[in-house]
């Protein structure tokens, strides 16, 4: 079974609205994820909140480049 953190990160990378919501209000977005059944530990929450915001944009950009190259 996939880990909750993996699912959350996948949503951040693939869902622009979700990512923007997280960047605007990380704690609220993490609570929303818990409400829809995605339990995250306190250490996972802390780690997600401490990642530099620009990381998510870089991940998305790199993924887009790789997908375009593969097409």
Question: pTM of this prediction?
Answer: 0.79
pLDDT, one tens digit per residue, over 24-36 is 999 999 998 889 8
> What's residue 39's pLDDT?
87
Nearest Cα to Cα of residue 9 among 47, 66, 42, 36: 47
Helix 26-35 / helix 4-14 crossing angle, nearest 10 deg: 120
pLDDT of residue 60 exceeding 90:
no
Which run of H or of E encompasses 63? helix 54-70
Map out the domains of the chain as residue ranges. 4-70
């Amino acid at each position: 079974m996939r880990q909750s953190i993996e699912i959350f990160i996948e949503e951040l990378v693939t869902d622009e609205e979700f990512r923007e919501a997280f960047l605007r209000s990380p704690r609220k977005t993490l609570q929303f994820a818990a409400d829809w059944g995605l339990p995250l530990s306190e250490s996972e929450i802390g780690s997600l909140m401490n990642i530099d915001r620009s990381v998510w944009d870089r991940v998305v950009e790199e993924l887009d480049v790789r997908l375009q190259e593969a097409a």
